[in-house]
Structure 1
Amino acid sequence: MVKITDVARHAGVSPSTVSYALSGKRSVSQETKQRIEASIRALGYRPHAGARALASSRSNVVALTMPLRSGIHMPVQMQFAESVVTRARAHDHDVLLLTQEEGEDGLRRVAGTALVDGLIVMDVQLRDARIPLLRTLGLPSVLIGFPADAEGLTCIDLDFTATGEACVQHLAQFGHRCVALLGSPPEVYARGTGFARRTAAGFTAAAHRYGMTSTVVPCEPGRLAAKETVDRLLRELPDLTGVVVHNEPALGPVLEAFKEAGLRIPEDLSAVAICPDELAENAPVPVSSVPLPAAEVGERAVELLMTKLNGGEVPDATLLPPQLTRRASTAPRGATA
């Protein structure tokens, strides 16, 4: 076990100086404090929890607000949560998970009791009722997602507008002229969830720019709902040759429904998905896709929050560019087997 004397020897200071740096009982120069902190990290020393609290006046806990709302794909949500917890532990912080539909009340509760040092907020809506409160709490926060008005907030996410555009551009390059976005369940759009609305906006704008016929269709998960959605889509757009699926649990049922309708992928219909790589890769026909960088977004959200907690400057907006990987599901319009 690493002791305080080992840290002192490594940093070239006395054990009492290390103790003062940890407890805050006496002032220690910034240069010396940084040298001690570097030695603590290098040796893996674990200060006593009480000493950490005295030094920082912190709880060493961050809150992750992850409402369990209908229409949200939980496996992807849990990827975000896992990455936040893992990265927070690397900074010696625990994570308090808020999953109930508490909204503003949940934020007030944790902020008012000094339970946490900062907040990471997920499932951000364009007109999110939590935003006005976040501006007044005086507690550092990072949003995974963007509200309509993000002024004064720290936000990070995949650039979903650019993602919708990239999917359409990919289909346009293969000559497709009639395309559809099969999106999240209707309630996700009704809530004004940012990622769904922005994907649809990017998709629609790009289709207009390329002179395509296009439509956005919300889709419930499940085989029956997928079949009904696909059948209606084909009736309304008989010239359809390209689809973008932004609905992880519906991807498999949607592709199966097109197959049952007599359409071959990619000979008759090219398909692009916005989903985790493993889902796209393991489809019966591997699907061209833009992955959801859940792990990277979660990790970077924690880094942004830690920088704010330590008084550093962070950008207001961090948008990760989409990375589209072509697989077997997309081909030129009218391609033959």
Structure 2
Amino acid sequence: MVKITDVARHAGVSPSTVSYVLSGKRSISEETIRRVRESIRELGYRPHAGARALASSRSNVLALVIPLRTGIHVPVVMRFAVSVVTSARRHDHDVLLLTQEEGEEGVRRVADSALVDAVIVMDVQLHDERLPMLRALDRPAVLIGFPDDTAGLTCIDLDFRAAGEACVDHLAALGHRRVGLIGSPPEVYERGTGYAERTAEGFLAAAARQGVAATVHPCEATGEAARELVKRLLDEHPDLTGVVVHNEPIVEPVVAAFRAAGRRVPGDLSVVAMCPDEQAEHAELQLTSVAIPAEEVGRRAVDLLMAKLDGDDVPPATLLPPRLTERASTAPA
């Protein structure tokens, strides 16, 4: 491993001079700075994190506020988290995880202590209580999710309203005239979580535009709840021929429940899932789906944050268009 003494020897200066170039604490001639930097590049020297922080007045750490509470499907959350961590490392930054329960106090604590350079916030509500604090924060922030009022914020996410519309448009094009949305757990809607609300809005808007009868049904993320809801849907809407499931843990239990009730999928009933591609592709019956692009959202959130740290202008809103992939779970009505 290349050491600071190796760089000093290669550049013909003292180790302390190399340290001063890295930290910027003393005035060094341009010629000496050039020689030291060339030696660093040629030898492949990687400064210690402390030296980098001194040189840039940064901690080289990002905070990621992740939602670990009821109604949240942790495996999907962790896809976002892994993407953020991986992308941050490409920018030579580490990531400090904060849980949703720490809330505004947790973000303020790490920001006031200079532990982190910037913040990424997940699980954004339409009327999120953290917004005034985030707008006043003296650290750059990026939200994965959209509140109702985005003024003064930088937000990125899948366009969930357009995703809900795409699901209905796909089913309507296949001739389905009665569809249902099996949505997130009730507490997710009660909190006013943006992605759930906007999916339902898009679903209902497209149904009205297409002249399709449609209903929205929150559902707990358990197999028993899925079976009970399927029974109720078939009792109340025997003409139901299309279902959209936006609740990752119960996608396959929903399909199994319809089959157990005598409905062939997709012969009698078509199913569209909103879930990661991997889940849709590896289900027992490959599912037509709108992908949840966790990896891309996480990567682009970090890119936005690094641009903000560098003083660059970034778009206040980034909505990723939905991508629907047709597989074996949908067919003409």
TM over 0.5: yes
Deviations 1:13-41 (Å, cap 9, x if unpaired)?
988986554212356899x9999889867
Match of 1:189 in 2: 189
Question: Contact (CA 8 Å) 2:164, 2:203: kept in 1 or not?
Answer: yes
RMSD value, Cα: 2.6
Identical positions, percent: 70
Question: Is 1:211 aligned to residue 211 of structure 2?
Answer: yes
1:107 equivalent in structure 2: 107
**Cα displacement (A) at 1:54:** 1.7
Residue of structure 1 equivalent to 2:303: 303
Partner of 1:243: 243
Unaligned residue ranges in structure 2 (runs of 5+): none
In the TM superposition, 1:88-103 aligns within 5 A as 88-103=88-103
Paired letter, 1:69: R
Q: How far off is 1:98 after superposition?
A: 0.6
1:134 is matched with which residue?
Answer: 134
In the TM superposition, residue 247 of structure 1 has moved relative to its aligned partner by 0.3
In the alignment, residue 274 of structure 2 is paired with which amino acid? Answer: I
Is 1:103–1:129's contact at 8 Å kept on the other side of the alignment?
no
Distance, in Å, in 2 between the alignment partners of 1:160 and 1:81 is: 19
Counterpart residue number, 2:287: 287
1:22-37 to 2 correspondences below 5 Å: 22-26=22-26
Q: Which moved more, 1:191-200 or 1:275-284?
A: 275-284
Aligned residues of 1:142 and 1:301 also touching (Cα < 8 A): yes
Post-superposition offset of 1:184 = 0.3
User: What is the one-letter code of the residue matched to 1:171?
Assistant: L
Give the whole-Å Cα distance in 2 for the aligned partners of 1:206 and 1:35.
63
Aligned partners of 1:6 and 1:80: how far apart in 2?
40
For 2:81 and 2:208, how far apart are their aligned partners in 1?
A: 36
Shift of 1:221: 1.8
Structure 1 21/296 Cα, relative in aligned 2: closer, same or farther at 3 Å?
A: farther
2:287 maps to amino acid: V
Q: Deviations over 1:215-262 (max 9, x none)?
A: 010011222211110111112212111110000001111111111111
Deviation at 1:88, TM superposition (A): 1.0
Kindly tell me: are residues 182 and 28 of structure 1, through their superposed partners in 2, closer, same or farther at Cα, counting changes over 3 Å? Answer: farther
State the TM-score, normalizing by the size of structure 2.
Answer: 0.91
In structure 2, the residue matched to 1:331 is 331
Partner of 2:176: 176
Provide the secondary structure at the position in 2 that maps to 1:101: helix
Structure 2 CA distance for partners of 1:290 and 1:39, relative to 1, 3 Å: farther
Structure 1: unaligned runs, 5 residues or longer: none
Distance 1:221-1:50 versus aligned 2 partners, 3 A rule: closer
- Pair 1:238–1:314, CA change in 2 (3 A): same
2:314 maps to amino acid = V
Counterpart residue number, 2:160: 160
Alignment pair present for 1:256 and 2:282: no
Structure 1 residues 328 and 139, CA gap change in structure 2 (3 angstroms): same
| 1:29 to 1:130, Cα distance in 2 relative to 1, 3 A | farther
Asked if the contact 2:179–2:240 (Cα under 8 Å) also holds between the matched residues in 1, the reply is yes
Structure 1 segment 12-161 matched on structure 2, within 5 A: 19-26=19-26, 44-161=44-161
- TM-score, with structure 1 as normaliser: 0.90
Specify the code of the residue in structure 1 equivalent to 2:260. Answer: E
Secondary structure (helix, strand or coil) at the match of 1:201 reads: helix
In the alignment, is the contact (CA less than 8 A) between 1:158 and 1:321 conserved in 2? yes
- Structure 2 distance, partners of 1:34, 1:144, is 40
The answer on 1:273 being equivalent to 2:279 is no
- SS of 1:116's equivalent? coil
CA–CA separation in structure 2 for the residues paired with 1:296 and 1:139? 23
The letter of the residue matching 2:303 is E
Q: Distance in 1 between matches of 2:57 and 2:9?
A: 26
Q: Is the 8 A contact 2:164 2:202 kept in 1?
A: yes
Question: Counterparts of 2:74 and 2:150 in 1: how far apart (Å)?
Answer: 26
How much has 1:67 moved relative to structure 2? 2.6
Q: Distance in 2 between matches of 1:4 and 1:169?
A: 61
Report deviation, 1:53.
2.0
1:133-172, Cα deviation, whole Å (9 max, x unpaired): 0111111111111111111111111111110011111111
Structure 2: distance between partners of 1:197 and 1:35:
57
Q: Distance in 2 between matches of 1:159 and 1:39?
A: 47
8 Å contact from structure 2 (residues 67, 77) kept in 1 = no
Separation in 2, partners of 1:43, 1:312: 31
**Amino acid across the alignment from 1:216:** V
Call closer, same or farther: CA 1:267–1:46 in 2, change over 3 Å. same
Amino acid at match of 2:177: R
